[in-house]
């Protein structure tokens, strides 16, 4: 199979490329990424020697560039991870979220349609469903939950999902969508909660917890998400949406305290700061459909995954130090 992975230099995309090179060694993987601030070629550089892996620097908003890539490569399967992904940045500057997440998706869909891709998979998020109240632990997001977004980020992801489904209905493009809960694991950019807190704790800096710290996120180890996308590519039905999650709900405060305790640091490092605007209270995925129809189950419990993740950040400190000092941006693919 010839697979195009867009956004493959980001957190989940780079984990997915590694996962697929292991899980489907016969596949040819072409990774395309604009290498924005969130894209990090250092996360992929050791794969350069692998003949099944290639990289192209490409912006999914660039219609001509995307068209030329499809014309030359004719990917059979497209998996789109490329996105602006940080909610706080979307609150500060929404424009680029609409440009990449909506218009970029539209460029990819049009190329997939014109060049007859056998599958277009959109990596979406549970944030398209909005949030759940803290006092209703019986409620979960199903694939039927109405879209009800809170931030410019989630609104842009929901818009993209609707466009993907429209390409199925109108043009019969064989699309699938996954809506996953919060991921954590190696190669996670240290602006997001878990890697930010690990890095700050290692430096004995204050850990900024928004609001009262009682917001709940449903955490999934990144490799479990990669396995879910792989099983949707293999057995998912065109036109369908699959929720992905493992019932690992934690308050932000629990997560931060777990990190501090694993690193032997004091809870006095916790600092409550001003809340995020429009801050979603609770996310919780009902993964019944993907379990029942595709047999997918998470393999990593939070207690194990968080330990593995902390160990990875301790051992691979140069990876995030290069982000903090900015030198990661000069690691580029060989021409
Ligand atoms: P990330 O920010 O780490 O990576 C995004 C990647 O996309 C980067 O490599 C960046 O360079 C690239 N990119 C951005 N704009 C681009 C453009 N215009 N053209 C080409 N490449 C571009 O994000 P992530 O956390 O790995 O998330 C990947 C996908 O998964 C996103 O679509 C996100 O919405 C979704 N998602 C993330 C999570 C999570 O917890 N991180 C959970 C559910 C869904
Ligand atoms: O410094 C912080 N302090 C804090 O309390 C940061 C960065 C976050 N938080 C809180 C906000 C959230 O309640 O932690 C929680 C997690 O925040 P993020 O890591 O920014 O993730 P979230 O907003 O939940 O979105 C993530 O999951 C869904 C990804 O970034 C999205 O791309 C994905 O779609």
Residue the block writes with tokens 């991870």? 81
Residue the block writes with tokens 């993987």? 29
Which residue has the CA at smallest separation from atom 34 of ligand 2? 125
Enter the pTM of the model: 0.99
Q: Who's near 173: CB < 8 A, 6+ residues apart?
A: 109, 112, 113, 117, 120, 167
Ligand 2, residues 12, 87, 89, 158: which to mutate, most atoms within 8 A of Cβ? Answer: 87
Residue 200's SS3 state is helix
Residue 190's SS3 state is coil
Q: Can you list the domains of the chain with their CATH numbers? A: 2-188+220-247+280-299 (3.40.50.720)
Which DSSP symbol is given to 242? E
Which DSSP symbol is given to 47? G
Residue the block writes with tokens 């032997």? 264
User: H-helix or E-strand containing 114?
Assistant: helix 105-114
Catalytic residues: 126-127, 153
Return the pLDDT at 13: 99
CA of 192 to the centre of ligand 2 (A): 6
Q: Who's near 243: CB < 8 A, 6+ residues apart?
A: 126, 141, 142, 143, 178, 179, 180, 285, 286, 287, 289, 290
For 19, the token pair is: 């996962």
For 163, the token pair is: 């466009």
pLDDT averages per 10-residue partition of the chain, 335 residues: 98 98 98 98 97 98 98 98 98 98 99 98 98 97 98 98 99 99 98 99 98 98 98 98 98 98 98 98 98 98 98 98 98 86
Ligand 2, residues 193, 215, 221, 275: which to mutate, most atoms within 8 A of Cβ? Answer: 193
The backbone region for 295, taken as left when phi is positive above 0, alpha when psi lies in -120 to 50, beta otherwise, is left
Spell out which residues line ligand 2, taking CB within 6 angstroms. Answer: 85-87, 125, 127, 182, 192-193, 196, 208-210, 215, 217, 252, 276
On whether the CB atoms of residues 78 and 30 are closer than 8 A, the answer is no
Ligand 1 atom nearest the C-alpha of 153 is 34
The Cα 180–Cα 10 span in angstroms is: 16
User: H-helix or E-strand containing 59?
Assistant: none
Which residue has the CA at smallest separation from atom 23 of ligand 2? 87
The Cα 15–Cα 65 span in angstroms is: 25
Return the pLDDT at 177: 99
CA of 1 to the centre of ligand 2 (A): 34
């Amino acid at each position: 199979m010839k697979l195009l992975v867009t956004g493959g230099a980001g957190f989940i995309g780079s984990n997915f490329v590694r996962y697929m090179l292991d899980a489907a060694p016969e596949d040819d993987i072409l990774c395309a990424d604009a290498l924005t601030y969130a894209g990090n070629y250092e996360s992929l550089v050791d794969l350069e020697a692998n003949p099944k892996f290639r990289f192209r620097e490409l912006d999914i908003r660039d219609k001509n560039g995307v068209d030329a890539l499809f014309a030359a490569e004719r990917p059979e399967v497209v998996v789109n991870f490329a996105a602006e992904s940080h909610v706080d940045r979307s609150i500060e500057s929404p424009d680029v979220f609409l440009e990449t997440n909506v218009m970029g998706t539209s460029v990819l869909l049009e190329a997939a349609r014109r060049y007859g891709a056998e599958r277009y998979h959109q990596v979406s998020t549970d944030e398209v469903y909005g949030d759940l109240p803290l006092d209703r632990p019986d409620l979960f997001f199903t694939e039927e939950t109405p879209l009800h977004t809170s931030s410019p980020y989630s609104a842009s992801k929901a818009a993209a999902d609707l466009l993907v489904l429209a390409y199925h209905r109108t043009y019969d493009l064989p699309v699938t969508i996954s809506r996953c809960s919060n991921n954590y694991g190696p190669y996670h950019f240290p602006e997001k909660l878990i890697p930010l807190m690990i890095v700050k704790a290692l430096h004995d800096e204050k850990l900024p917890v928004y609001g009262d710290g009682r917001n709940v996120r449903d955490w999934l180890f990144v490799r479990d998400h990669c396995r879910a996308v792989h099983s949707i590519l293999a057995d998912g039905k065109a036109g369908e949406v699959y929720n992905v999650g493992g019932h690992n709900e934690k308050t932000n405060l629990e997560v931060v305290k777990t990190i501090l305790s694993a690193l032997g640091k004091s809870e006095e490092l916790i600092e409550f700061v001003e809340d995020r605007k429009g801050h979603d209270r609770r996310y919780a995925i009902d993964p019944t459909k993907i379990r029942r129809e595709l047999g997918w189950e998470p393999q990593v419990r939070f207690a194990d995954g968080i330990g593995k993740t902390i160990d990875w950040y301790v051992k691979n400190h140069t990876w995030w130090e290069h982000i903090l000092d900015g030198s990661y941006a000069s690691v580029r693919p060989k021409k």
